[in-house]
Structure formats: structure tokens, C-alpha cells
Amino acid sequence: MNLYEWQAAFAAAYKERHPYPYDLPEFMPSVSGLGKCARQQWYRLRHLPEPAEPLEVQWQQDEGHDQEVIIWRVLRNMGYAITTQKRNLPFILDGAYGGHADNYATGNDLTERTYVEAKQMNYRRYSRVYLRGVQAGEPVIYAQLQATMHATGIRQAMLICIADSPTAVKSEVRQQMRYMKIEDGGYVHPLVYRELVPYNAEVGLSLERRGRGLYASAKASVLPRRELDPQAMEQPKRGEARAKHWQCMQAYCAFRDACIAAGPGGAIIEQHPVLRRMEP
């Protein structure tokens, strides 16, 4: 086997690395996708042929999973009691969505049992969350937290974000941190962000309706309408009040060609409350 053949074999075998399958019923959306583009989720749920994500994307995701183990260890050292159940059965909100909530914490400054999510982020995403909070900075993650709390009855989530590129984050966020330091009178480590997110019933119900719409449209094979959200939005050119052409700004979407060919129309799915804009 030459090097190129060996690399191709490695990439193929890498796909089989996950120890357990993701076991939700057919066509059921997952919590992690509820806040993403509805049409992209529809294509996924309909099992349309999806090219594999580039190996470097998969690699980064695995780095994040590995880092979780370290985070749980550090949190335990801080006095939190952490339970991690990677092989937990999925929770399912009947007819709406499902997912896994594997990690819970109590102790230290937590007054109730709290669902914990740890995310590794590139410096742009990290800076956005750091400066604007998860609701405005990462609405897809916010939707995941709210939908999980809505379905499981847990009423508080703790999000921990780790920056994957310390030097880049420092240059973007350091200035802000100086101000934060003066206002708060404390010191915040620039590479780790923590936010406690309380359950919001209105958002939870809206996400449940969105999940039901997605599930029904995937089952009935009715394509959702294209949405204007942070991942699929129009970009007005300079001097234009609004864009003449729709352009999806998602950096990578396996279904881009099919989506453009299908045009904007389709079933209207309840919008994620943070993203209430649709393509005209």
C-alpha cells in the first residue's frame, strides 16, 4: 500500500470509530439539529446521500470529545459532582425530537441538578459567545440546551466553552476582558467560558413545535421552506436596502446543490425564536 492508498484506508476506517450508533426513530430530529437550518435537517432525516464531512472537521469534533474527559476531571477537582453516562438511552419527546443528555452536575455554586454541555470552539465562535452570551452568540447551541431541558424536565444547563486557538482568542477578546475585569472586579480566564442557562418555557414550547413540524415534513416528504438564519441568510450588497439574491452563508453544507435546485418554497416550519426571519 502506498501512502495515498493508506491515507484513503485510514479515512474510511475513521468513519467507523464511534462505539455506539445514534439510535433515534426514523425521521425524528435530534436536539443538536433543532436550531439549524430546517431544510438541511430535512435532507439529513430523509437520508439523502450525504458526502462525508472532511476528515479535519471530524478530527476537530473528536478533539472536543476527548477534551470533555479533561473538563469533567477539572470540574470534579473544583468540587462539582459530575455524572457522565455516555451510553444513556436517548430521551424522546414523542412526535417532536430526541437526543442524549449524558452529563449532569451538582455541587459547588449549583443550587440544583444541572445538565452540562462542553463545547470546543474556534476563536470566532468562542469570541461571539464570550462577548454576546450563548443565546445571541450561538443560537443553535442555545436551542439544543433549551430543547434538552424542555424534554427532560431539568431546569438549568451549564455550558462550558473552550477556545481551540488561544492566541487568536486573546487578540479578539483581550480588550473586552480588560473592561470586564474592571466592572466585575475579578479575573476571568480567557480560554474558558461558563454560562448558566435557565430553562425558558416559551422557547422550549416553540422548539417542540419546530421539532413536530420537522418530523412531520420529513415523514411526509414535504421539503421545508428555506430559512434565513445565521447559517442561511441573505447578504445585501453595499447601497442596497435588502439583498436581491438569496445566498446561504453556511460555510459547509452537503446539500447545497440540491437546495439551490429546489428553490425557496416549501412547508413553513415553526422558527427557532431567536431566528424569526424567513426568506421573502
Binding site for ligand SF4 (CB under 6 A): 37, 39-40, 226, 231-232, 248, 250, 253, 255-256, 259
Residue 237 cell numbers, joined: 450588497
Least distance (Å) from ligand SF4 to the CB of residue 252?
A: 9
Least CB distance to ligand SF4 at residue 251 (A): 10
Query: What are phi and psi for residue 197, nearest 5 degrees?
Result: -115, 115
- Which residue matches cell numbers 474527559? 69
Least distance from C-beta 52 to ligand SF4, angstroms? 16
CA distance 134 to 77: 25
Query: Would you call 150 exposed, middle or buried from its count of C-beta atoms within 10 A (0-12, 13-18, 19+)?
Result: buried
Closest approach, Cβ 195 to ligand SF4, in A, equals 26
| Gap between the Cα atoms of 268 and 213, Å rounded | 8
Give CB contacts under 8 A, 24+ apart, made by 88-95: 90/22, 90/23, 90/24, 91/148, 91/151, 91/152, 92/24, 92/25, 92/28, 92/151, 93/150, 93/151, 93/208, 93/211, 95/212, 95/215
Our CB check for ligand SF4 shows the closer of 18 and 124 to be 124
In the numeric block, which cell numbers belong to residue 31?
436536539
Find cell 436536539 and name the residue: 31
Shorter beta-carbon distance to ligand SF4: residue 181 or 256: 256
Nearer to ligand SF4, 143 or 248 (CB): 248
In angstroms, what is the minimal distance from the CB of 258 to ligand SF4? 8
197 or 269: CB nearest ligand SF4: 269
Q: Minimum distance between the CB of residue 41 and ligand SF4, rounded to whole angstroms?
A: 8
Q: Which is nearer to ligand SF4, 40 or 148 (CB)?
A: 40
Write down the least CB distance from residue 38 to ligand SF4, Å.
8
**Which DSSP category does 232 fall into?**
B
Q: Among 47, 97, 43, 37, which residue's Cα sits nearest to residue 269?
A: 37
Cβ distance to ligand SF4 smaller for residue 48 or 196: 48
Burial status of residue 19 (CB atoms within 10 A of its CB: 0-12, 13-18, 19 or more): exposed
In the bound state with ligand SF4, the residue whose beta carbon lies nearer, of 253 and 274, is 253
